[in-house]
Amino acid sequence: MDRLTNVLVIDDDKHIRDACRQILVKDHYDVTEAEDGLQGLEFLKNKVYDIVILDLKMPGISGISVLKKIKENYPDTVVIVITGYATVESAVEAMKIGANDFLPKPFTPDALRVIIKRMVEKRTLLIENIYLRDQLDSYIGMDEFIGESKPMIKIKELIRRVGPSDSTVLISGESGTGKELVARAIHRNSSRKNKPFVTIDCGSLVETLFESELFGHVKGSFTGAIASKHGKFELANTGTLFFDEIGNIGTNIQGKLLRAIQESEITKVGSNQTVKIDVRIISATNIDLVEGIKEDTFREDLFYRLAVIPIDLPSLRFRKDDIPSLVNYFLNKYNQKRGKKIKSISPKAMQALIDYDWPGNVRELQNTIERSVVLTKSDIIEPTDIFHFSFVSLKNYSTTLASAEKEHIIKILRECNWNKSKAANLLKIDRKTLRQKIDKYKLESGD
């Protein structure tokens, strides 16, 4: 097994509980015993169990009633129903409610082992499906690395060397430079390549929900926790967990994250039980975490734990030799994806793209080419197509892309009453990049 599987045995017969424990502990399962349905439901409130072995015939609350509550409140938990009163009717009723399998008493140790092994596989598949659903919801697309500039050759070599090491990696770079792409490439070059790669966007989560998203929670642990939930650590178990824009997490969560990495275990919100985890941590940031340490917004001990291997991604303006290759790659990609037949990009248009600074980096270039492919009426992309569709309507299309960028930034700043945070959000760049642009073009609030 990849990790210790938590099994809850609910049966009023002490001998059955003892037998289950002895058989399963030998196979390295973590076993909890409950002597009746009420006690079993109490245990479920405080800990997430992978598998429940449930007797149907018990005094007090019936096994069928317990099964209904488990499936209502803990739908991801696998339930094996056991009973000495095995009839077709009881089996059918239990399976209709949601029991995953049926084991009649008396049963042999081997019979229990076989069914538990099958349910562990089912549980693993269920977790993987949750992970895949999460990936599909958040998937944007991932292209292979394009470019043979010196900075890109260096990055590719780093990925090949870092991948197999299993060390933590901190990827730094401006927005749009491809930090997640690098993280995925490291994962694909590691021994964990066939295991989950799970992303957590630290910039989009409300801090009050971050702990639950990261570690999971048990039912009733806070308002709105109507069912137990798996956190990202569990979904990424045996694989890679990628923290995107990790500089956005608060110091309180930073401490809990540090403990989880150091101890290789987590505690769900609302639970006292620890869960062992085995994940590789890769993080990314577009802000200077060393400055964050100086300003007491980022923990120094966590920084050094995350940055065993630092990778600094170059901005596109520092590897302009790669722009023609990127442009042609995106041109072919969006021709196929959008059903277009754009033959090429003119030399003047290509030069204009090379001359531009690309504050949004490769992501901005990709979006620019996609828009041009979709909207141009010709089979060759000209400078007028790029200017008109990508930035602002200009009367004089001989104006440089830099000038277009300046006018566009001024326009957005005016719309936001010079609120830099709002403007950066609309421009899809970070505040640091916006400040650099304001300084570069010597912009003032009166412009």
**Residue 2: is its pLDDT beyond 60?**
no
The answer as to whether 199 is a domain residue is: yes
Same domain, 282 and 368: no
Q: Name the DSSP class of 165.
A: G
End-to-end Cα separation, the chain, in angstroms: 64
Same domain, 394 and 303: no
Same domain, 306 and 323: no
The answer as to whether 447 is a domain residue is: no
How long, in residues, is the chain? 447
Same domain, 158 and 302: yes
The answer as to whether 391 is a domain residue is: yes
Confidence tier at 407 by pLDDT (50, 70, 90): confident
Same domain, 16 and 79: yes
pLDDT at 441: 84
The answer as to whether 133 is a domain residue is: no
- Enter the pTM of the model: 0.63
Residue at a domain's end among 284, 314, 344:
314
* The total number of structural domains that make up the chain: 3
**Residue 139: is its pLDDT beyond 70?**
no
Beta strands in 136-208 (DSSP E): 169-172, 197-201
pLDDT at 394: 35
The answer as to whether 130 is a domain residue is: no
φ, ψ of residue 230 in degrees (nearest 5): -85, 135
Looking from the CA of 29 toward its CB, the CA atoms found within 13 Å total 26
Same domain, 172 and 296: yes
Number of Cβ atoms within 10 Å of the Cβ of 105: 14
pLDDT at 254: 94
pLDDT at 224: 73
Summarised one tens digit per residue, pLDDT across range 361-400 is 999 899 899 988 988 888 999 887 886 545 433 334 444 5
Which residues have a Cβ under 8 Å from the Cβ of 272 and sit 6 or more positions away? 46
The answer as to whether 363 is a domain residue is: yes
Same domain, 271 and 157: yes
CA dist 55 and 62 (Å) reads 9
pLDDT at 85: 60
CATH number of the domain enclosing 98:
3.40.50.2300
Same domain, 174 and 213: yes
CA dist 241 and 400 (Å) reads 42
Residue span of the structural domain in which 375 resides = 317-440
pLDDT at 210: 86
Q: What is the mean pLDDT of residues 67-78?
A: 87
Residue at a domain's end among 291, 314, 337:
314
Summarised one tens digit per residue, pLDDT across range 172-183 is 999 889 999 999
Summarised one tens digit per residue, pLDDT across range 329-371 is 999 999 998 888 899 999 998 998 998 888 889 998 998 999 8
| Torsion-angle region of 166 (φ positive above 0: left; ψ -120 to 50: alpha; else: beta) | left
CA dist 242 and 236 (Å) reads 9
Same domain, 301 and 361: no
pLDDT at 133: 52
Tokens 């990055």: give the residue: 155
The answer as to whether 40 is a domain residue is: yes
Same domain, 249 and 197: yes
SS3 content of the chain, % helix, strand, coil (to 5): 50, 15, 35
Residue at a domain's end among 314, 343, 361:
314
CA dist 100 and 79 (Å) reads 5
pLDDT at 206: 75
Q: What is the CA radius of gyration of the chain?
A: 28
Which residues have a Cβ under 8 Å from the Cβ of 190 and sit 6 or more positions away? 163, 164, 166, 240, 280
CATH number of the domain enclosing 398:
1.10.8.60
Average pLDDT, the chain: 85
Same domain, 419 and 368: yes
Q: What is the mean pLDDT of residues 272-294?
A: 92
The answer as to whether 142 is a domain residue is: no
Percent of the chain with pLDDT over 90: 40
Q: What is the mean pLDDT of residues 21-42?
A: 92
φ, ψ of residue 160 in degrees (nearest 5): -60, -35
Number of Cβ atoms within 10 Å of the Cβ of 429: 23
CA dist 146 and 402 (Å) reads 24
Percent of the chain with pLDDT over 70: 89
Same domain, 151 and 116: no
Cα distances (angstroms) measured from residue 397 to each of 27, 211, 355: 73, 51, 15
pLDDT at 33: 95
